[in-house]
Structure 1
Amino acid sequence: MKKELSEQKFAWIIILPALLIVFGIVVYPLVRTFIYTFQDMNLSLGGTGEFIGLANYATILGDEYFWKTVGRTAYFSLVSIALELILGITIALLLNENFRGKSFLIAIIIVPWAVPNIVSSSMWKWIYHPEYGALNALLMQLSIIDEYKSWLGTPLQAMNMVIIADVWKMTPLVVIFMLSALKLTNKSVYEASVVDGAGLLKRFFHITLPYLKPMILVIVVMRTMETFKVFDLIYVLTRGGPANGTMVLGYQAYTEVFENLNYSSGATYSYLIALLIVLLTVAYIKVLKRKET
């Protein structure tokens, strides 16, 4: 008994530093931020931390600007994920074949995903530069445009350019997932379909796609959570502009806290983002269970 007790004490002594770190870095900030959502912590207006209940949630949810921000975030998420899936599946199907230089090509494709987000964002900011950007120079040499353009100059175009940067970076992740799923497919089924005279498109939609559906669902929910939290790409490229055309939820939460000094609003935005992610995760689980039954 004494030996077991000493072992338990030793185990607690070992894990106690880790528990303290987790509590200090993760748990306490989460709890403190949650408390801010029920207080008046708008320092720019002299907030005193007074308890105001659900007023912050009511104000934000009743604000038309919030729902426009949700719409921009949803657009960014939907278009980015759709393009990443299309490109990822196409590239994975190509890499699933045996050809010379395949390993080298896989290594090259993974490089964008390995680049840190802030470095990737800075690179794209240079590419899109209206005066000496690489994109303008390339299109001028190809005679596609006759003058330099400001690619981040209008709201919709700026959002689409941000999406291209996100797709470039995250498509390799989709390729890796899809390629691993393709490796688990039953090749005998493909061989039988070829013997039966099934064409390329028919084999893809009736054999390949059903194999990939579980992995597609995983990618969709994972990337949806990431795109709803996007910050660094927006921060480096557009700072939410022009005319708030790229203002998404993650950057709006940052703006409320660090620019407007409205801690309550920023905290409320953060927890609303978390709530949306939870709802999306629940929807994913229901879809996955429905596929399994």
Structure 2
Amino acid sequence: MATTTTKTRPRFRRPTPSRAGRGEVRFAVALLLPAALVVFGVVLYPAVRTLVVSLFDVTSAMPGSYPFVGLRNYTKVFGDPSFYTVLWHTAYFTLVSTALELTLGIGVAMVLNAPLKARWLWRSLVVLPWALPTIVDGALWRWIYNGQYGALNGLLSALHITDANHQWLGSPFLALNMVIIADVWKNTSVVAFFVLAGLQTIPHDLYEAARMDGAGPVRSFLRVTLPLLRPSIAVVLILRTIEAFKVFDIIYVMTGGGPASGTQTVAFYTYQQAFSNQLFGYGSALAYLIALAVFALAMMYLRILRQGAMAGVK
């Protein structure tokens, strides 16, 4: 009588974490815990608290019971004519400053990428405006624009262009453009160094091939340089558009939102409503609308960047 033997398959047990492995996990959690607490305390909790405040009619910084109004603060924003005025100021500031910074930044990057003598020195000088704090930058340009003793009027007088003392920050639209110039002077260097990093990744052989095909400097720039700079330009557009849309500090220092509210942007208007007028519920609703607008801009630019990258792969 034959006996059959059945082979039993060995059972694989999941490896239990060793004591050393558990110690590494605890050590990693201990390293991440301070950063998590900072993110929660600086970002998450204020964001949730602002959302809660935006649903109430909070009109004082003192603790107390305030009526629940739901989305009334948000509907009030869209029914406020002043909101559309400051939104126009913000859109104008964002479009003009970003376009000027991108145009000048590409030009400066092309110069810095050329074989200049002491190129390291020129690159160091270009970064200086960006290294200045925005408060210092705003105070500097406010002094330059001063109608009585400003450097700009002094320069125009020395060049015999005009002897009149122009009040550069005296009219609303002119003051807005003067603030744009100050912002462009500070942030062009950021754009220049992003573009310069992109320029240094372009192989020189492409320019040699374009030159052999009879392309001049302008055609080489349009057919070779500009298409290959598209990822760098897209990143710069994302960063500068978002920062320009949230502009506050340079306007606070230079004009305080004046004259006649001509330089008020959405961020400055939010600050004024929340802290000057103590309409904290209304200001919180404005702050959330700004966050949603910035998020929408970021998503739009990221989609454009992703489509450009996919087109480059194809």
TM-score by length of 1: 0.95
Find the residue that maps to 1:267 and give its secondary structure.
helix
Aligned to 2:152: 135
Where structure 1 has 5 or more consecutive residues not aligned to the other structure, the ranges are none
Shift of 1:113: 0.6
Pair 1:200–1:36, CA change in 2 (3 A)? same
Q: Does 1:91 align with 2:108?
A: yes
How far apart, in 1, do the equivalents of 2:58 and 2:145 lie?
38
Tell me which amino acid in the other structure corresponds to 2:247: V
Tell me which amino acid in the other structure corresponds to 1:247: Q
Tell me which amino acid in the other structure corresponds to 2:272: T
Find the residue that maps to 1:51 and give its secondary structure.
coil
Identify which of 188, 192, 195 aligns with 1:178: 195
Identify which of 222, 227, 239 aligns with 1:205: 222
Tell me which amino acid in the other structure corresponds to 1:194: R
Identify which of 100, 103, 115 aligns with 2:117: 100
Tell me which amino acid in the other structure corresponds to 1:8: V
Tell me which amino acid in the other structure corresponds to 2:178: M
Q: Does 1:26 align with 2:43?
A: yes
How far apart, in 2, do the equivalents of 1:131 and 1:190 lie?
52
Shift of 1:94: 1.2
Pair 1:143–1:259, CA change in 2 (3 A)? same
Identify which of 27, 32, 36 aligns with 2:53: 36
Pair 1:211–1:18, CA change in 2 (3 A)? closer
Across the two proteins, how many residue pairs are aligned to each other?
Answer: 292
Pair 1:207–1:256, CA change in 2 (3 A)? same
Aligned to 1:192: 209
How far apart, in 2, do the equivalents of 1:92 and 1:11 lie?
42
Aligned to 1:112: 129
Q: Does 1:146 align with 2:192?
A: no
Pair 1:155–1:18, CA change in 2 (3 A)? same
Q: Is the 8 A contact 1:41 1:47 kept in 2?
A: no
Identify which of 230, 243, 247 aligns with 1:226: 243
Shift of 1:189: 1.2
Shift of 1:55: 0.4
Q: Is the 8 A contact 1:257 1:266 kept in 2?
A: yes
Shift of 1:13: 4.0
Which of 4-13 and 258-267 deviates more? Answer: 4-13
How far apart, in 2, do the equivalents of 1:222 and 1:23 lie?
24
Q: Within 5 Å, which residues of 2 pair with 1:38-53? A: 38-43=55-60, 48-53=65-70
Shift of 1:228: 1.0
Aligned to 1:78: 95
Pair 1:12–1:94, CA change in 2 (3 A)? closer
Alignment deviations for residues 191-236 of structure 1 (CA, whole Å, 9 cap, x no partner): 1111221122111111111011111111111111101111110000
How far apart, in 1, do the equivalents of 2:111 and 2:26 lie?
56
Tell me which amino acid in the other structure corresponds to 2:141: W
Where structure 2 has 5 or more consecutive residues not aligned to the other structure, the ranges are 1-16
Identify which of 250, 254, 258 aligns with 2:275: 258
Aligned to 2:180: 163
Find the residue that maps to 2:229 and give its secondary structure.
helix
Identify which of 66, 70, 74 aligns with 2:83: 66
Alignment deviations for residues 170-207 of structure 1 (CA, whole Å, 9 cap, x no partner): 00001101111000112111111112211221111111
Q: Is the 8 A contact 1:127 1:135 kept in 2?
A: yes
What is the CA RMSD across the aligned residues, in angstroms?
1.7
Which of 279-288 and 152-161 deviates more? Answer: 279-288
Q: Is the 8 A contact 1:126 1:133 kept in 2?
A: yes
Tell me which amino acid in the other structure corresponds to 2:137: S
Alignment deviations for residues 33-54 of structure 1 (CA, whole Å, 9 cap, x no partner): 111111111239x994221111
Question: Over alpha carbons, which structure has the higher Rg?
Answer: 2
Tell me which amino acid in the other structure corresponds to 2:292: L
Tell me which amino acid in the other structure corresponds to 2:267: G
Pair 1:11–1:181, CA change in 2 (3 A)? closer
Shift of 1:62: 2.1
Shift of 1:238: 0.6
Aligned to 2:29: 12
How far apart, in 2, do the equivalents of 1:208 and 1:18 lie?
41
Q: Is the 8 A contact 1:240 1:246 kept in 2?
A: yes
Q: Is the 8 A contact 1:40 1:51 kept in 2?
A: yes
Q: Is the 8 A contact 1:40 1:47 kept in 2?
A: no
Q: Is the 8 A contact 1:217 1:288 kept in 2?
A: yes
After TM superposition, what 4+ stretches of structure 1 lie above 6 angstroms from structure 2? none
